[in-house]
Amino acid sequence: MGLAVAILGASGYAGGELVRILDEHPSVEVTYLGAYTQAGSSLGEVHPHLPGPSRVLAPIDVDRLTGAEVAFLALPHGSSWQAGHRLAEAGVAVFDLGSDYRMDTPQRYEFAYGAPHPLPDELDAWVYGLPELFGAALPGSGRVAVPGCYPTSALLGLGPLLAAGLIEGPVVVDSMSGVTGAGRGLKAGLTFGAVDESVKAYGIATHRHRPEIEMGLEAIGGAPVTVQFTPHLVPMQRGILSTCSAGLVEAGRIGDALRDAYARAPFVDVLDQPPQTRWVVGSNRALIHASEDHHTGRAIVTVAIDNLGKGAAGQAVQCANLALGFPETAGLTTAGWLP
């Protein structure tokens, strides 16, 4: 038997991916599945594609998680701060897929989410879990905030170039995401009739992931970076494609810089052609392509990830592997689904 794992928010899309991945993980055993409105339902009713359908979803109640050694929180914004705090204080290793502990300061949190953080003094106790860029802080950590899906794509594409001094701000990030990125809740704007054969921008100049992208770039480059971020909803189930551009400081080096940065990264590949989301769906893989636009003097980097994989559940498991001393690739795959 492996480490006992609890998944809170198991009825959602990211929660279902966690169940799928962790059921196959060689070093853990899923012992508790928690949900809010679906508590009392069987796993088969909520996720009929997963094995073990007779397992019952229990309430999200920290007091019932006796024996859990690891907890993954796949909860909506504002729903994980209390559970994360209590579990971590009890010695449980917590990996929060939500946004409650991602920001590095109370000021940045309030700017992003419009309200004060309920536990502002605890923000610096949580590691920002983007393994390829901040992985040195993960081993032994028991409090990990898993990055958002959009920031993961932007930071993977731009981070190494900023660190090498090859680009400068302002940065522009245009991202397209499948509808699962908005969660499983019933919303009029996410119905088939509203989404099919249409593309729309949303959260223009106000999306909460912009401060997170700026935070990550600042941590990498050592100075504030201004980001213009525009997300788009596209009619597909899952996947993110981000096109990122920044001022080109030195020409002829960005492709090699990315390849050097990710030479030993098992889940990141730098391609000679622009990536497509279909190539990464179902995997924890990130695909990156870099170009130089000498007409505008800007670097253009495109990044494809699965929003439920490298953008959520897969990355959370990758963080856990590094934090808990397992092989980084345990339970994860680089193979996507095509066709």
**Cα 282 from Cα 333, distance rounded (Å):** 8
List Cβ neighbours of 263 (8 Å cut-off, separation of 6 or more): none
Query: Tokens 């038997």 correspond to what residue?
Result: 1
The answer to whether residue 319 is catalytic is no
Query: Tokens 């809170």 correspond to what residue?
Result: 8
**Residue tagged active-site, from 43, 71, 149, 213:** 149
* Local structure of 59: helix, strand or coil: strand
| 3-state helix/strand/coil string of 252-282 | CCHHHHHHHHCCCCCCEEECCCCCCHHHCCC
Is the backbone of residue 102 left (phi > 0), alpha (psi -120 to 50) or beta?
A: alpha
**Cα 246 from Cα 121, distance rounded (Å):** 34
**Cα 56 from Cα 180, distance rounded (Å):** 23
Q: What are residue 15's phi and psi, to 5 degrees?
A: -65, -40
Q: How far is CA 302 from CA 54, 60, 179, 277, in A?
A: 42, 38, 20, 11
**Cα 78 from Cα 40, distance rounded (Å):** 23
Give per-residue burial for 215-253: e unless 16+ CB within 10 Å, then b: bbbeebbeeebebebbbebbebebbbbbbbbbebbeeeb
Residues classed as catalytic: 149
